[in-house]
Copies of this chain bind each other. A is one copy, B any other.
Amino acid sequence: MADELRFPTGLGTSDADSISLLGQDLAADLMGRVGFGELAFWLVAGRRPSAGEVRLFEAVLVALADHGFTPTAIAARLTYLSAPDSLQGALAAGLLGGGSRFLGVTEDCGRFLATVLASAEGDDVDAIALDAVTTAKAEKRFVPGLGHPVHKVEDPRTPVLIRIATEEGIYGPHLRLFEAIGRVHPQVLNRKLPLNGAGVCGAALADLGLPVEMLRGFALLARAAGLLGQIAEERRRPIANDIYLTVDRNAVYEA
């Protein structure tokens, strides 16, 4: 069986003198020459992004890095309180909240837009959007990326990301469809909802050609930086114990 054991990879390898990553010499060609966001894109997409793509991609990561005291940030701080010897555990606990509700909109929106585009006919993007929103309503499904609990009129990240994509010449079909949904949905839903930041990030990542199934991964990478910020702040100015005590002291026992 030995001869058959083959575990192929195109990521990294090394020998005594050199380290290869993505077909490049890590030390000579990547370190100091390639940014971290650029490398993350390259690792997942398997192709090197252009400078404009890097700018849009990093803008997405910056937009998603931190959202204040989210449930995931609180979970990471509480875990750090309980197990300060294991920073990786606190980070992992925070990332594990990156599921369907608080961090899933980016992927859901990118997937929704890609699915609509895959079966869309014609060039009238407003008509395509109208049809997609109408179908979603008929099936009692939410349109991902619409609405925000705090930014009820406009999410400030949305126009900025669209502007950057336009400046860099990579405004594509997903962002266009997303904007069209922003225009037409009031006809169907009878109220005007903002296009939210998580959604526009999903649209931008899809326009960057990144695989829809990995979009949640970029939200997680961005959030990893935010969670490290939360944990570092917890070290400097702890609040997790107060959160715990607030809950514990206001527990009402109802057996």
Contact = CB atoms under 8 A, between A and B. Distances in A.
A8 B93 CA distance: 22
A130 interface: no
Number of chain copies forming the complex:
4
Contacts of A221: 224-225, 228
A22 B226 CA distance: 11
Contact of A239 (B8, B26, B91, B230): B8
Interface stretch (A76-84, A109-117, A119-127, A133-141): A76-84
B62 A83 contact: no
A6 B252 contact: yes
Bin chain A's interface residue count.
35 or more
Main SS of chain A's interface residues?
helix
A246 B86 CA distance: 27
A46 interface: yes
A68 B9 contact: yes
A191 interface: no
